[in-house]
Amino acid sequence: MRYIRRTIPEGFTIPDIPEWMSAVLRTRGITSVEEGRRFIRPTLADLHSPFLMPDMEKAVSMIRETIRKGNSITVYGDYDADGVCASSILTEALRDCGARVDYYLPSRHTEGYGLHGEAIRKIAGRAALLITVDCGISNHREIALARELGLRVILSDHHELPEVLPEADAILHPRVGDYPCGHLCGAGVALKLAHALGGDAALDKALDLGAIATVADVVPLLDENRAIVREGIRRMGQRPGLAALLNCSGTQAPLCAEDLAFRIGPRLNAAGRLEDARLAAELLQTHDPDEAARLAEHLEMLNGRRQALERAMTESAVTQAQSVPDFAERRSIVVSGEGWNPGLIGLTAGRLCERYHRPVVALSVQGEQATGSCRSIPGVNIFEMLTRCGDLLEKYGGHAQAAGLTVRTERIEVFRQRLDDIIRQSCDPLCFEPEKEYDAEVPFGEWDEKSVRLMDWLEPTGEGNPPPVFRIPRAAVQSARRVGRDLSHLQLSLLDGGTLFKGIAFGMGEKADHALSEIDILYRPTLNRFRGNVSVEAQISAIESAGRDSSP
Protein backbone atom coordinates (compact mmCIF):
# COMPACT_ATOMS: atom_id res chain seq x y z
CA MET A 1 0.00 0.00 0.00
CA ARG A 2 1.38 3.39 -1.01
CA TYR A 3 0.45 6.58 0.83
CA ILE A 4 0.22 9.50 -1.60
CA ARG A 5 0.03 13.08 -0.37
CA ARG A 6 -2.36 15.09 -2.48
CA THR A 7 -0.62 17.88 -4.36
CA ILE A 8 -0.94 21.14 -2.45
CA PRO A 9 -0.19 24.07 -4.75
CA GLU A 10 1.47 27.05 -3.17
CA GLY A 11 -0.84 29.98 -2.78
CA PHE A 12 -3.42 31.63 -0.64
CA THR A 13 -4.39 31.05 2.95
CA ILE A 14 -7.73 32.10 4.40
CA PRO A 15 -7.36 34.33 7.46
CA ASP A 16 -8.53 32.97 10.82
CA ILE A 17 -8.66 29.29 9.85
CA PRO A 18 -6.04 26.57 10.44
CA GLU A 19 -3.36 26.00 7.81
CA TRP A 20 -4.61 22.42 7.32
CA MET A 21 -7.95 23.78 6.10
CA SER A 22 -6.26 26.12 3.60
CA ALA A 23 -4.15 23.16 2.43
CA VAL A 24 -7.23 20.96 1.96
CA LEU A 25 -8.93 23.68 -0.07
CA ARG A 26 -5.89 24.06 -2.31
CA THR A 27 -5.94 20.32 -3.06
CA ARG A 28 -9.52 20.84 -4.28
CA GLY A 29 -8.34 23.40 -6.83
CA ILE A 30 -9.21 26.51 -4.82
CA THR A 31 -6.86 29.36 -5.75
CA SER A 32 -8.36 32.44 -4.09
CA VAL A 33 -10.16 33.53 -0.96
CA GLU A 34 -13.32 34.20 -3.00
CA GLU A 35 -13.25 30.70 -4.51
CA GLY A 36 -12.75 29.38 -0.99
CA ARG A 37 -15.88 31.21 0.19
CA ARG A 38 -17.97 29.77 -2.63
CA PHE A 39 -16.62 26.29 -1.93
CA ILE A 40 -17.26 26.44 1.81
CA ARG A 41 -20.66 28.12 1.56
CA PRO A 42 -22.16 27.25 -1.84
CA THR A 43 -25.50 28.91 -2.56
CA LEU A 44 -27.98 29.00 -5.43
CA ALA A 45 -26.35 32.25 -6.52
CA ASP A 46 -23.36 30.11 -7.58
CA LEU A 47 -25.42 28.22 -10.16
CA HIS A 48 -24.69 29.02 -13.79
CA SER A 49 -27.43 30.22 -16.12
CA PRO A 50 -28.97 27.25 -17.94
CA PHE A 51 -28.86 29.31 -21.12
CA LEU A 52 -25.08 29.08 -21.15
CA MET A 53 -25.63 25.51 -22.38
CA PRO A 54 -25.67 25.41 -26.20
CA ASP A 55 -29.09 24.56 -27.68
CA MET A 56 -30.93 25.45 -24.45
CA GLU A 57 -32.88 28.29 -26.05
CA LYS A 58 -33.72 26.02 -28.99
CA ALA A 59 -34.89 23.24 -26.65
CA VAL A 60 -37.10 25.59 -24.61
CA SER A 61 -38.62 27.01 -27.79
CA MET A 62 -39.38 23.51 -29.12
CA ILE A 63 -41.04 22.49 -25.86
CA ARG A 64 -43.19 25.63 -25.67
CA GLU A 65 -44.24 25.21 -29.29
CA THR A 66 -45.24 21.60 -28.63
CA ILE A 67 -47.28 22.64 -25.57
CA ARG A 68 -48.92 25.48 -27.49
CA LYS A 69 -50.05 23.06 -30.21
CA GLY A 70 -51.44 20.62 -27.64
CA ASN A 71 -49.14 17.80 -28.76
CA SER A 72 -47.72 15.16 -26.44
CA ILE A 73 -44.20 14.86 -25.07
CA THR A 74 -42.42 11.70 -23.90
CA VAL A 75 -39.43 11.80 -21.56
CA TYR A 76 -37.13 8.79 -22.13
CA GLY A 77 -34.91 8.06 -19.13
CA ASP A 78 -32.83 5.37 -17.51
CA TYR A 79 -33.48 2.80 -14.79
CA ASP A 80 -30.86 3.92 -12.24
CA ALA A 81 -31.22 6.60 -9.55
CA ASP A 82 -29.85 9.31 -11.84
CA GLY A 83 -32.19 8.40 -14.69
CA VAL A 84 -35.23 8.05 -12.41
CA CYS A 85 -34.55 11.40 -10.76
CA ALA A 86 -33.90 13.08 -14.13
CA SER A 87 -37.14 11.67 -15.57
CA SER A 88 -39.10 12.82 -12.54
CA ILE A 89 -37.58 16.32 -12.57
CA LEU A 90 -38.40 16.92 -16.21
CA THR A 91 -41.81 15.25 -16.17
CA GLU A 92 -42.90 17.40 -13.22
CA ALA A 93 -41.51 20.56 -14.80
CA LEU A 94 -43.33 19.88 -18.08
CA ARG A 95 -46.62 19.17 -16.29
CA ASP A 96 -46.29 22.42 -14.37
CA CYS A 97 -45.90 24.17 -17.74
CA GLY A 98 -49.16 22.62 -18.93
CA ALA A 99 -47.67 19.92 -21.13
CA ARG A 100 -49.29 16.62 -22.02
CA VAL A 101 -46.39 14.41 -20.94
CA ASP A 102 -45.52 10.85 -19.99
CA TYR A 103 -42.22 9.11 -19.36
CA TYR A 104 -40.58 5.87 -20.47
CA LEU A 105 -38.01 3.94 -18.42
CA PRO A 106 -36.51 0.89 -20.17
CA SER A 107 -36.26 -2.45 -18.43
CA ARG A 108 -32.76 -3.25 -17.22
CA HIS A 109 -33.56 -6.94 -17.68
CA THR A 110 -35.09 -7.04 -21.16
CA GLU A 111 -33.84 -3.86 -22.87
CA GLY A 112 -30.73 -2.64 -21.11
CA TYR A 113 -29.31 0.87 -21.14
CA GLY A 114 -30.12 3.50 -23.75
CA LEU A 115 -32.70 4.03 -26.48
CA HIS A 116 -34.37 1.04 -28.14
CA GLY A 117 -35.94 0.89 -31.56
CA GLU A 118 -39.15 -0.86 -30.54
CA ALA A 119 -39.73 1.66 -27.75
CA ILE A 120 -39.12 4.53 -30.19
CA ARG A 121 -41.74 3.12 -32.56
CA LYS A 122 -44.32 2.95 -29.76
CA ILE A 123 -43.53 6.48 -28.61
CA ALA A 124 -43.82 7.81 -32.18
CA GLY A 125 -47.42 6.59 -32.22
CA ARG A 126 -48.45 8.86 -29.36
CA ALA A 127 -46.02 11.78 -29.06
CA ALA A 128 -44.65 14.61 -31.19
CA LEU A 129 -41.56 15.39 -29.11
CA LEU A 130 -39.07 12.98 -27.50
CA ILE A 131 -36.75 14.24 -24.77
CA THR A 132 -34.01 11.93 -23.54
CA VAL A 133 -32.54 12.30 -20.06
CA ASP A 134 -29.36 10.56 -18.87
CA CYS A 135 -29.08 8.69 -22.17
CA GLY A 136 -28.96 9.00 -25.93
CA ILE A 137 -25.58 10.52 -26.75
CA SER A 138 -24.34 7.25 -28.31
CA ASN A 139 -27.67 6.20 -29.86
CA HIS A 140 -27.14 7.48 -33.43
CA ARG A 141 -29.30 4.80 -35.05
CA GLU A 142 -32.22 5.20 -32.63
CA ILE A 143 -32.16 9.01 -32.83
CA ALA A 144 -32.22 8.75 -36.63
CA LEU A 145 -35.15 6.31 -36.42
CA ALA A 146 -37.09 8.67 -34.15
CA ARG A 147 -36.73 11.52 -36.61
CA GLU A 148 -37.66 9.26 -39.55
CA LEU A 149 -40.87 8.41 -37.68
CA GLY A 150 -41.71 12.12 -37.32
CA LEU A 151 -40.52 12.74 -33.77
CA ARG A 152 -38.61 15.88 -32.91
CA VAL A 153 -35.80 14.98 -30.52
CA ILE A 154 -34.17 16.88 -27.68
CA LEU A 155 -31.20 14.85 -26.45
CA SER A 156 -30.04 15.56 -22.89
CA ASP A 157 -27.21 13.44 -21.50
CA HIS A 158 -23.88 13.61 -19.66
CA HIS A 159 -22.09 10.42 -20.71
CA GLU A 160 -18.85 10.25 -22.71
CA LEU A 161 -19.12 12.03 -26.05
CA PRO A 162 -18.72 10.01 -29.25
CA GLU A 163 -16.54 11.36 -32.03
CA VAL A 164 -19.67 12.25 -34.01
CA LEU A 165 -22.80 13.50 -32.25
CA PRO A 166 -26.25 12.12 -33.14
CA GLU A 167 -28.40 14.30 -35.39
CA ALA A 168 -30.95 15.37 -32.78
CA ASP A 169 -32.90 18.62 -33.10
CA ALA A 170 -31.21 19.93 -29.94
CA ILE A 171 -28.43 18.51 -27.76
CA LEU A 172 -28.04 19.46 -24.10
CA HIS A 173 -24.76 18.15 -22.70
CA PRO A 174 -22.43 19.84 -20.21
CA ARG A 175 -19.35 19.10 -22.33
CA VAL A 176 -20.75 20.23 -25.65
CA GLY A 177 -19.69 23.84 -26.10
CA ASP A 178 -18.30 26.01 -23.31
CA TYR A 179 -20.69 25.37 -20.42
CA PRO A 180 -18.73 26.20 -17.21
CA CYS A 181 -19.50 22.98 -15.27
CA GLY A 182 -18.72 19.93 -17.39
CA HIS A 183 -19.45 17.31 -14.75
CA LEU A 184 -23.20 17.51 -14.22
CA CYS A 185 -25.04 14.20 -13.87
CA GLY A 186 -28.05 13.34 -16.04
CA ALA A 187 -30.47 14.81 -13.50
CA GLY A 188 -28.25 17.90 -13.30
CA VAL A 189 -28.82 18.49 -17.03
CA ALA A 190 -32.57 17.87 -16.56
CA LEU A 191 -32.50 20.37 -13.68
CA LYS A 192 -31.00 22.96 -16.01
CA LEU A 193 -33.76 22.40 -18.56
CA ALA A 194 -36.43 22.57 -15.84
CA HIS A 195 -34.91 25.85 -14.57
CA ALA A 196 -34.89 27.28 -18.09
CA LEU A 197 -38.55 26.31 -18.56
CA GLY A 198 -40.03 27.18 -15.18
CA GLY A 199 -37.65 29.63 -13.56
CA ASP A 200 -36.66 29.64 -9.91
CA ALA A 201 -39.87 27.88 -8.77
CA ALA A 202 -39.07 24.86 -10.96
CA LEU A 203 -35.47 24.88 -9.75
CA ASP A 204 -36.49 24.96 -6.10
CA LYS A 205 -38.94 22.08 -6.57
CA ALA A 206 -36.36 19.83 -8.24
CA LEU A 207 -33.26 20.43 -6.10
CA ASP A 208 -33.91 17.48 -3.79
CA LEU A 209 -33.92 15.03 -6.70
CA GLY A 210 -30.94 16.77 -8.27
CA ALA A 211 -29.00 16.29 -5.03
CA ILE A 212 -29.79 12.56 -4.79
CA ALA A 213 -28.77 11.91 -8.40
CA THR A 214 -25.59 14.00 -8.17
CA VAL A 215 -24.37 11.94 -5.22
CA ALA A 216 -25.70 8.57 -6.43
CA ASP A 217 -24.12 8.93 -9.88
CA VAL A 218 -20.72 9.72 -8.30
CA VAL A 219 -19.98 12.89 -10.26
CA PRO A 220 -17.50 15.38 -8.76
CA LEU A 221 -18.92 17.45 -5.92
CA LEU A 222 -17.31 20.59 -7.26
CA ASP A 223 -18.53 23.83 -8.82
CA GLU A 224 -22.33 24.07 -9.01
CA ASN A 225 -22.77 20.42 -8.03
CA ARG A 226 -21.89 21.54 -4.49
CA ALA A 227 -24.73 24.04 -4.45
CA ILE A 228 -27.17 21.53 -5.93
CA VAL A 229 -26.38 18.95 -3.22
CA ARG A 230 -26.18 21.40 -0.30
CA GLU A 231 -29.45 23.14 -1.18
CA GLY A 232 -31.13 19.88 -2.19
CA ILE A 233 -30.36 18.27 1.17
CA ARG A 234 -32.00 21.24 2.91
CA ARG A 235 -35.22 20.52 0.98
CA MET A 236 -35.13 16.75 1.48
CA GLY A 237 -38.32 15.23 2.83
CA GLN A 238 -40.70 17.88 1.51
CA ARG A 239 -42.17 15.51 -1.09
CA PRO A 240 -44.22 12.61 0.38
CA GLY A 241 -42.22 9.89 -1.36
CA LEU A 242 -38.87 10.96 0.02
CA ALA A 243 -40.32 11.56 3.47
CA ALA A 244 -41.64 7.97 3.45
CA LEU A 245 -38.33 6.59 2.17
CA LEU A 246 -36.37 8.42 4.86
CA ASN A 247 -38.72 6.96 7.46
CA CYS A 248 -38.50 3.39 6.13
CA SER A 249 -34.71 3.48 5.94
CA GLY A 250 -34.31 4.97 9.42
CA THR A 251 -32.56 8.04 8.01
CA GLN A 252 -32.86 11.03 10.30
CA ALA A 253 -32.02 14.70 10.01
CA PRO A 254 -29.61 16.34 9.73
CA LEU A 255 -28.80 14.59 6.45
CA CYS A 256 -25.44 14.54 4.70
CA ALA A 257 -24.18 13.35 1.32
CA GLU A 258 -23.37 9.90 2.76
CA ASP A 259 -27.08 9.39 3.53
CA LEU A 260 -27.91 10.00 -0.13
CA ALA A 261 -25.11 7.68 -1.28
CA PHE A 262 -25.71 4.74 1.06
CA ARG A 263 -29.36 4.96 2.07
CA ILE A 264 -31.51 6.80 -0.47
CA GLY A 265 -29.70 6.03 -3.73
CA PRO A 266 -29.52 2.23 -3.23
CA ARG A 267 -33.23 2.02 -2.42
CA LEU A 268 -34.19 3.94 -5.55
CA ASN A 269 -31.83 1.76 -7.57
CA ALA A 270 -33.33 -1.42 -6.11
CA ALA A 271 -36.53 -0.91 -8.12
CA GLY A 272 -34.79 -1.13 -11.50
CA ARG A 273 -32.31 -3.77 -10.35
CA LEU A 274 -34.95 -6.29 -9.27
CA GLU A 275 -38.30 -5.19 -10.71
CA ASP A 276 -39.38 -2.01 -12.52
CA ALA A 277 -37.74 1.43 -12.23
CA ARG A 278 -41.18 3.03 -12.57
CA LEU A 279 -41.81 2.07 -8.92
CA ALA A 280 -39.09 4.52 -7.88
CA ALA A 281 -40.37 7.21 -10.25
CA GLU A 282 -43.92 6.80 -8.93
CA LEU A 283 -42.61 7.14 -5.37
CA LEU A 284 -40.82 10.38 -6.20
CA GLN A 285 -43.78 11.91 -8.02
CA THR A 286 -46.75 10.86 -5.86
CA HIS A 287 -48.62 13.43 -3.76
CA ASP A 288 -50.51 10.76 -1.79
CA PRO A 289 -48.87 9.96 1.60
CA ASP A 290 -50.51 6.52 1.76
CA GLU A 291 -49.26 5.61 -1.71
CA ALA A 292 -45.84 6.96 -0.76
CA ALA A 293 -45.72 4.78 2.36
CA ARG A 294 -46.70 1.67 0.38
CA LEU A 295 -44.11 2.25 -2.33
CA ALA A 296 -41.37 3.11 0.19
CA GLU A 297 -42.00 -0.11 2.11
CA HIS A 298 -41.80 -2.07 -1.13
CA LEU A 299 -38.48 -0.47 -2.07
CA GLU A 300 -37.17 -1.21 1.43
CA MET A 301 -38.06 -4.88 0.91
CA LEU A 302 -36.41 -4.91 -2.53
CA ASN A 303 -33.25 -3.38 -1.11
CA GLY A 304 -33.02 -6.16 1.48
CA ARG A 305 -33.36 -8.76 -1.27
CA ARG A 306 -30.77 -6.92 -3.32
CA GLN A 307 -28.24 -7.08 -0.50
CA ALA A 308 -28.66 -10.85 -0.07
CA LEU A 309 -28.45 -11.56 -3.81
CA GLU A 310 -25.43 -9.30 -4.19
CA ARG A 311 -23.52 -11.16 -1.48
CA ALA A 312 -24.16 -14.52 -3.14
CA MET A 313 -23.23 -13.28 -6.62
CA THR A 314 -20.06 -11.62 -5.37
CA GLU A 315 -18.94 -14.83 -3.64
CA SER A 316 -19.46 -16.75 -6.88
CA ALA A 317 -17.56 -14.12 -8.89
CA VAL A 318 -14.62 -14.16 -6.47
CA THR A 319 -14.35 -17.95 -6.74
CA GLN A 320 -14.45 -17.76 -10.54
CA ALA A 321 -11.89 -14.94 -10.75
CA GLN A 322 -9.37 -16.72 -8.54
CA SER A 323 -9.70 -19.94 -10.53
CA VAL A 324 -8.03 -18.38 -13.59
CA PRO A 325 -4.51 -19.94 -13.80
CA ASP A 326 -2.66 -16.65 -14.38
CA PHE A 327 -4.96 -14.57 -12.17
CA ALA A 328 -2.12 -12.82 -10.29
CA GLU A 329 -0.54 -11.58 -13.54
CA ARG A 330 -3.70 -10.31 -15.20
CA ARG A 331 -4.39 -6.59 -15.53
CA SER A 332 -8.17 -7.00 -15.67
CA ILE A 333 -10.86 -9.35 -14.42
CA VAL A 334 -13.75 -10.62 -16.55
CA VAL A 335 -16.30 -12.86 -14.83
CA SER A 336 -19.58 -14.20 -16.18
CA GLY A 337 -22.51 -16.24 -15.01
CA GLU A 338 -25.63 -17.81 -16.47
CA GLY A 339 -28.67 -16.14 -15.00
CA TRP A 340 -26.78 -13.53 -13.00
CA ASN A 341 -29.16 -10.68 -12.33
CA PRO A 342 -28.31 -7.89 -14.81
CA GLY A 343 -29.36 -5.38 -12.18
CA LEU A 344 -26.66 -6.53 -9.77
CA ILE A 345 -23.65 -7.16 -11.98
CA GLY A 346 -22.48 -3.57 -11.61
CA LEU A 347 -22.41 -3.96 -7.84
CA THR A 348 -20.48 -7.21 -8.17
CA ALA A 349 -17.99 -5.58 -10.53
CA GLY A 350 -17.54 -2.77 -8.02
CA ARG A 351 -16.88 -5.18 -5.15
CA LEU A 352 -14.21 -7.06 -7.10
CA CYS A 353 -12.63 -3.84 -8.35
CA GLU A 354 -12.32 -2.60 -4.78
CA ARG A 355 -10.98 -5.93 -3.54
CA TYR A 356 -8.36 -6.57 -6.23
CA HIS A 357 -7.65 -3.02 -7.44
CA ARG A 358 -8.07 -3.96 -11.08
CA PRO A 359 -10.69 -3.04 -13.70
CA VAL A 360 -13.53 -5.57 -13.65
CA VAL A 361 -16.19 -6.61 -16.14
CA ALA A 362 -19.08 -8.69 -14.79
CA LEU A 363 -21.30 -10.33 -17.42
CA SER A 364 -24.79 -11.77 -17.12
CA VAL A 365 -25.07 -14.49 -19.75
CA GLN A 366 -28.52 -14.90 -21.30
CA GLY A 367 -28.40 -17.31 -24.19
CA GLU A 368 -26.39 -15.98 -27.12
CA GLN A 369 -25.73 -12.57 -25.55
CA ALA A 370 -24.20 -11.29 -22.33
CA THR A 371 -24.89 -7.96 -20.67
CA GLY A 372 -21.95 -6.46 -18.79
CA SER A 373 -21.10 -3.77 -16.27
CA CYS A 374 -17.56 -2.42 -15.84
CA ARG A 375 -15.85 -0.70 -12.92
CA SER A 376 -12.32 0.62 -13.14
CA ILE A 377 -9.44 2.15 -11.19
CA PRO A 378 -7.64 5.51 -11.56
CA GLY A 379 -5.30 5.31 -14.51
CA VAL A 380 -7.47 2.93 -16.56
CA ASN A 381 -10.15 4.67 -18.63
CA ILE A 382 -12.47 1.74 -19.15
CA PHE A 383 -14.54 3.57 -21.78
CA GLU A 384 -11.41 4.04 -23.91
CA MET A 385 -10.44 0.40 -23.39
CA LEU A 386 -13.90 -0.73 -24.54
CA THR A 387 -13.64 1.54 -27.56
CA ARG A 388 -10.49 -0.32 -28.60
CA CYS A 389 -12.43 -3.59 -28.27
CA GLY A 390 -15.42 -2.12 -30.09
CA ASP A 391 -15.34 -4.59 -32.99
CA LEU A 392 -16.02 -7.41 -30.50
CA LEU A 393 -18.97 -5.71 -28.83
CA GLU A 394 -22.60 -5.31 -29.81
CA LYS A 395 -22.78 -1.96 -27.98
CA TYR A 396 -21.14 -0.10 -25.13
CA GLY A 397 -21.14 3.28 -23.37
CA GLY A 398 -20.32 5.00 -20.13
CA HIS A 399 -17.53 6.89 -18.37
CA ALA A 400 -13.84 6.56 -17.56
CA GLN A 401 -14.50 4.60 -14.35
CA ALA A 402 -17.82 2.87 -15.08
CA ALA A 403 -19.39 1.57 -18.27
CA GLY A 404 -21.81 -0.96 -19.72
CA LEU A 405 -21.64 -3.28 -22.69
CA THR A 406 -23.30 -6.09 -24.58
CA VAL A 407 -21.21 -8.89 -26.11
CA ARG A 408 -22.08 -12.13 -27.84
CA THR A 409 -21.51 -15.07 -25.51
CA GLU A 410 -19.22 -16.82 -28.00
CA ARG A 411 -16.87 -13.79 -27.94
CA ILE A 412 -16.41 -13.53 -24.16
CA GLU A 413 -13.08 -15.37 -24.10
CA VAL A 414 -11.68 -13.37 -27.01
CA PHE A 415 -12.88 -10.16 -25.36
CA ARG A 416 -11.31 -11.17 -22.05
CA GLN A 417 -7.87 -11.61 -23.63
CA ARG A 418 -8.11 -8.53 -25.88
CA LEU A 419 -9.12 -6.29 -23.00
CA ASP A 420 -6.28 -7.56 -20.82
CA ASP A 421 -3.72 -7.10 -23.60
CA ILE A 422 -4.88 -3.54 -24.36
CA ILE A 423 -4.82 -2.50 -20.70
CA ARG A 424 -1.35 -4.04 -20.24
CA GLN A 425 0.00 -2.17 -23.27
CA SER A 426 -1.70 1.16 -22.54
CA CYS A 427 -1.63 1.76 -18.78
CA ASP A 428 1.13 2.60 -16.32
CA PRO A 429 1.96 -0.47 -14.18
CA LEU A 430 2.02 1.76 -11.08
CA CYS A 431 -1.74 2.31 -11.29
CA PHE A 432 -2.26 -1.35 -10.32
CA GLU A 433 -0.53 -0.87 -7.00
CA PRO A 434 -3.11 0.11 -4.34
CA GLU A 435 -2.64 3.56 -2.88
CA LYS A 436 -4.31 5.82 -0.36
CA GLU A 437 -4.30 9.59 -0.61
CA TYR A 438 -4.05 11.99 2.30
CA ASP A 439 -4.14 15.76 2.64
CA ALA A 440 -1.58 16.61 5.31
CA GLU A 441 0.38 15.36 8.32
CA VAL A 442 -1.44 16.67 11.39
CA PRO A 443 -0.43 15.57 14.91
CA PHE A 444 -3.43 14.38 16.89
CA GLY A 445 -2.78 16.93 19.63
CA GLU A 446 -3.90 19.71 17.27
CA TRP A 447 -7.51 18.54 17.31
CA ASP A 448 -10.24 19.75 19.63
CA GLU A 449 -14.02 19.91 19.26
CA LYS A 450 -13.92 23.30 17.52
CA SER A 451 -11.32 22.32 14.92
CA VAL A 452 -13.07 19.03 14.11
CA ARG A 453 -16.32 20.92 13.51
CA LEU A 454 -14.53 23.04 10.90
CA MET A 455 -14.59 20.00 8.61
CA ASP A 456 -18.34 20.51 8.23
CA TRP A 457 -17.40 23.42 5.97
CA LEU A 458 -16.21 20.90 3.39
CA GLU A 459 -19.62 19.24 3.09
CA PRO A 460 -20.95 17.87 0.85
CA THR A 461 -18.06 15.44 0.48
CA GLY A 462 -17.78 12.63 -2.03
CA GLU A 463 -16.37 12.23 -5.53
CA GLY A 464 -13.93 15.03 -6.34
CA ASN A 465 -14.13 16.32 -2.78
CA PRO A 466 -13.44 13.33 -0.51
CA PRO A 467 -13.54 13.69 3.27
CA PRO A 468 -10.13 15.01 4.33
CA VAL A 469 -7.60 12.40 5.41
CA PHE A 470 -4.57 13.06 7.61
CA ARG A 471 -1.40 11.12 8.41
CA ILE A 472 0.52 10.33 11.59
CA PRO A 473 3.79 8.58 10.61
CA ARG A 474 4.78 7.16 14.01
CA ALA A 475 1.95 6.42 16.41
CA ALA A 476 2.90 4.19 19.33
CA VAL A 477 0.39 1.38 19.95
CA GLN A 478 -0.65 1.14 23.59
CA SER A 479 -3.35 -1.50 23.07
CA ALA A 480 -5.17 -3.22 20.21
CA ARG A 481 -8.23 -5.45 20.33
CA ARG A 482 -11.01 -6.80 18.17
CA VAL A 483 -14.46 -5.25 18.61
CA GLY A 484 -17.87 -5.44 16.98
CA ARG A 485 -20.56 -8.09 16.81
CA ASP A 486 -18.40 -10.30 14.60
CA LEU A 487 -15.09 -8.98 15.97
CA SER A 488 -14.19 -7.66 12.52
CA HIS A 489 -13.16 -4.18 13.66
CA LEU A 490 -9.99 -2.97 15.38
CA GLN A 491 -9.96 -0.65 18.40
CA LEU A 492 -6.67 1.02 19.23
CA SER A 493 -5.19 3.17 21.96
CA LEU A 494 -2.37 5.25 20.46
CA LEU A 495 0.24 7.74 21.61
CA ASP A 496 1.34 10.55 19.30
CA GLY A 497 3.94 12.75 20.93
CA GLY A 498 2.41 13.45 24.30
CA THR A 499 -1.19 12.90 23.18
CA LEU A 500 -3.01 9.67 24.03
CA PHE A 501 -6.07 8.98 21.83
CA LYS A 502 -8.42 6.22 20.75
CA GLY A 503 -8.90 4.98 17.19
CA ILE A 504 -11.26 2.65 15.36
CA ALA A 505 -10.34 0.85 12.12
CA PHE A 506 -13.39 -0.73 10.54
CA GLY A 507 -12.87 -4.14 8.93
CA MET A 508 -9.27 -4.45 10.19
CA GLY A 509 -9.88 -6.66 13.22
CA GLU A 510 -7.35 -9.26 12.07
CA LYS A 511 -4.53 -6.76 12.68
CA ALA A 512 -5.07 -7.25 16.42
CA ASP A 513 -3.51 -10.70 15.98
CA HIS A 514 -0.19 -9.14 14.89
CA ALA A 515 2.39 -7.56 17.16
CA LEU A 516 1.74 -3.87 16.53
CA SER A 517 4.26 -1.44 17.99
CA GLU A 518 4.68 1.75 15.95
CA ILE A 519 2.33 2.32 13.05
CA ASP A 520 1.89 4.79 10.20
CA ILE A 521 -1.80 5.65 10.00
CA LEU A 522 -4.19 7.59 7.81
CA TYR A 523 -7.12 8.91 9.77
CA ARG A 524 -9.98 11.35 10.09
CA PRO A 525 -10.76 12.98 13.46
CA THR A 526 -14.33 12.43 14.70
CA LEU A 527 -16.33 13.52 17.73
CA ASN A 528 -17.51 10.88 20.19
CA ARG A 529 -20.31 11.79 22.61
CA PHE A 530 -20.80 9.73 25.76
CA ARG A 531 -22.80 10.70 28.85
CA GLY A 532 -22.61 14.37 28.06
CA ASN A 533 -18.88 14.37 27.36
CA VAL A 534 -17.35 15.02 23.94
CA SER A 535 -13.97 13.57 22.97
CA VAL A 536 -11.96 13.52 19.75
CA GLU A 537 -11.17 10.07 18.33
CA ALA A 538 -9.58 8.80 15.12
CA GLN A 539 -11.41 6.92 12.38
CA ILE A 540 -8.50 5.05 10.80
CA SER A 541 -8.56 4.17 7.10
CA ALA A 542 -5.09 2.66 6.63
CA ILE A 543 -2.38 1.10 8.79
CA GLU A 544 1.23 0.31 7.84
CA SER A 545 4.25 -0.53 10.00
CA ALA A 546 6.12 2.66 10.91
CA GLY A 547 9.42 3.19 9.17
CA ARG A 548 8.18 1.75 5.88
CA ASP A 549 8.37 4.42 3.20
CA SER A 550 4.76 4.62 2.09
CA SER A 551 5.26 7.62 -0.17
CA PRO A 552 6.13 7.29 -3.86
Domain 53-234 has CATH 3.30.9.10: no
Which residues make beta-bridge pairs with 496?
499
* Position 321, amino acid: A
Tell me the β-bridge partners of 333: 360
pLDDT at 30: 86
pLDDT at 551 exceeding the cut of 60: no
Provide CATH code, domain 324-432.
3.10.310.30
What's the confidence (pLDDT) of residue 12?
Answer: 63
Residue 548 has pLDDT above 70, yes or no: no
Mean pLDDT of the chain: 93
CATH topology of domain 436-545: OB fold (Dihydrolipoamide Acetyltransferase, E2P) (2.40.50)
pLDDT tens-digit series, residues 333-392 = 999 999 899 889 999 999 999 999 999 999 999 999 999 999 999 999 999 999 999 999
Distances (CA, A) of 78 to 104, 105, 106, 202, 228: 8, 5, 6, 21, 21
Name, in order, each residue with C-beta under 8 angstroms of 413's C-beta and a sequence gap of 6 or more: none
Q: What is the mean pLDDT of residues 233-259?
A: 93
Give whole-number Cα distances, 72 to 19, 68, 202, 450, in Å.
57, 10, 20, 56
**152-187 residue pLDDT tens:** 999 999 998 988 999 999 999 999 999 999 999 999
CA dihedral defined by 307, 309, 313, 316, rounded to 10 degrees?
Answer: 110
Q: What is the pTM of this model?
A: 0.88
State the average pLDDT over residues 260-286: 96
Reported as a single tens digit per residue, the pLDDT across 479-513 is 999 999 889 999 999 999 999 999 999 999 999 98
CA atoms within 13 A on the CB side of 256: 10
For the chain, give the percent of residues with pLDDT over 70.
98
* 3-class secondary structure, 69: helix
Model pLDDT, residue 11: 63
Question: CB–CB of 173/192 below 8 Å?
Answer: no
Predicted pLDDT at 32: 82
Q: What is the pLDDT of residue 235?
A: 94
Closest CA to 168 of 127, 139, 199: 139
pLDDT tens string 401-443: 999 999 999 999 999 999 999 999 999 999 999 889 999 999 9
Segments making up each domain of the chain, as ranges: 53-234, 236-307, 324-432, 436-545
Selection from 475, 469, 480, 512 nearest residue 495 by Cα: 475
